[in-house]
């Protein structure tokens, strides 16, 4: 159990382990340490407060199951509530699907599109990619290069500014594919045009998934981004990129809460293979590390 908590909370957990009784003071102390560590890791303050209120309440009210000591019981509650904070487990089905990528510029959306294409291809599915990022010059070349490396067809039109037209034609062109991934434009800010376009692309493509890409280093702004995208297209999964950096990804948890979804994948580097399925234990340990 201790291993799951990361170094930042190890001392607090040890303190708890040394106590002969687990009373309100002991729980309060643990909760304070937990709050400090989570806020340092960029987790939204409101989320932290909700989490710790539940932990306190459950720790003081629930009886430990038969055969479980009070300390272990409290630690289990802390762990369960942290897992709850990570959102639902998102199943990635290996079947035909259309994935619409959402996120602001620089979040890692195009790179992640290439990584996802690789992921599904390795699972034996026929994959195709459409580049509907008409905002960032170079996006199409970047995505084409990524796709060429792994032999995945990539549809795009140099110089075309109408994303709807590109996706309409791209879907025809790639009609035989099982997994279709559509990379969309991202801007520096949440402009109305961006939101209107992604709503139209969602309707046009009948996307089965709408995944939001969030940079691990994004702090409190993650919440607003997630809220706007979720309102627009009903986000059903979050991908946290750049987890190979120093950021702990705590900000992205507010995106998970806003969208009432879960973390689908984690980006762990710049190459096409640097994509991992989400592992709650690893994430918690890092968040509290």
Q: Are 56 and 31 in contact (CB under 8 A)?
A: yes
Chain position whose Cβ is nearest to ligand GDP = 267
Give the closest residue to 242 by CA, choosing from 120, 108, 104, 45.
Answer: 108
In a 13 Å sphere around the CA of 98, the CA atoms on its Cβ side amount to 16
Report, in Å, the least distance between residue 9 CB and ligand GDP.
26
In the bound state with ligand GDP, the residue whose beta carbon lies nearer, of 107 and 205, is: 107
Report, in Å, the least distance between residue 151 CB and ligand GDP.
20
Kindly give, in sequence order, each residue whose CB lies less than 8 Å from that of residue 155, ignoring residues fewer than 6 positions away: 128, 129, 130, 131, 166, 169, 170, 173, 174
Maximum CA extent, the chain: 71
Q: Which residues bind ligand GDP (CB under 6 A)?
A: 103, 105-111, 136, 186, 241-242, 244-245, 267-270, 274
Task: Tell me whether strands 209-215 and 127-132 are parallel, antiparallel or unpaired.
Answer: unpaired
Report, in Å, the least distance between residue 195 CB and ligand GDP.
16
Q: Are 98 and 208 in contact (CB under 8 A)?
A: yes
Other CB atoms closer than 10 Å to residue 63's CB: what's the count? 8
Backbone angles phi, psi at 216, to 5 degrees: -55, -25
In the bound state with ligand GDP, the residue whose beta carbon lies nearer, of 111 and 202, is: 111
In the bound state with ligand GDP, the residue whose beta carbon lies nearer, of 184 and 259, is: 184
Q: In sequence order, what are the beta bridge partners of 100?
A: 182, 210
Q: Are 187 and 104 in contact (CB under 8 A)?
A: yes
In the bound state with ligand GDP, the residue whose beta carbon lies nearer, of 106 and 289, is: 106
Report, in Å, the least distance between residue 58 CB and ligand GDP.
35
In a 13 Å sphere around the CA of 158, the CA atoms on its Cβ side amount to 4
In the bound state with ligand GDP, the residue whose beta carbon lies nearer, of 13 and 218, is: 218
In the bound state with ligand GDP, the residue whose beta carbon lies nearer, of 74 and 235, is: 235
In the bound state with ligand GDP, the residue whose beta carbon lies nearer, of 118 and 242, is: 242
Structure tokens at 191: 């402009």
Report, in Å, the least distance between residue 170 CB and ligand GDP.
17
Report, in Å, the least distance between residue 229 CB and ligand GDP.
13
Taking phi over 0 as left and psi of -120 to 50 as alpha, with beta for the rest, 109 belongs to alpha
Report, in Å, the least distance between residue 110 CB and ligand GDP.
3
């Amino acid at each position: 159990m201790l291993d799951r908590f990361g170094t930042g909370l190890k001392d607090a957990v040890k303190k708890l382990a040394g106590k002969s009784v687990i009373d309100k003071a002991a729980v309060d102390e643990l909760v304070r340490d937990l709050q400090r560590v989570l806020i340092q890791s960029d987790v939204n303050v409101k989320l932290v407060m909700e989490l710790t209120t539940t932990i306190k309440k459950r720790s003081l009210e629930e009886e430990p199951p038969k055969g479980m000591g009070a300390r272990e019981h409290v630690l289990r509650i802390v762990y369960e509530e942290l897992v709850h904070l990570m959102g639902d487990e998102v199943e990635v089905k290996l079947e035909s699907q259309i994935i619409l990528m959402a996120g602001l510029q620089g979040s890692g959306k195009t790179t992640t599109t290439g990584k996802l294409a690789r992921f599904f291809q390795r699972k034996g599915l026929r994959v195709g990619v459409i580049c509907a990022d008409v905002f960032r010059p170079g996006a199409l070349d970047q995505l084409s290069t990524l796709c060429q490396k792994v032999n995945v067809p990539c549809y795009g039109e140099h110089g075309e500014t109408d994303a709807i037209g590109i996706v309409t034609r791209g879907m025809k062109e790639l009609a035989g594919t099982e997994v279709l991934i559509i990379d969309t434009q991202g801007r520096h800010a949440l402009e109305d045009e961006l939101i209107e376009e992604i709503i139209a692309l969602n309707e046009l493509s009948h996307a089965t998934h709408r995944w939001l890409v969030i940079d691990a280093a994004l702090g409190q702004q993650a919440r607003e981004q997630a809220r706007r995208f979720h309102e627009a297209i009903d986000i059903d999964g979050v991908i946290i990129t750049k987890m190979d950096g120093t950021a702990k990804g705590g900000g992205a948890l507010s995106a998970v809460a806003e969208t009432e979804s879960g973390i689908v994948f984690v980006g762990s580097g710049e190459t096409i293979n640097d994509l991992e399925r989400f592992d709650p234990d690893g994430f918690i340990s890092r968040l509290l590390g």
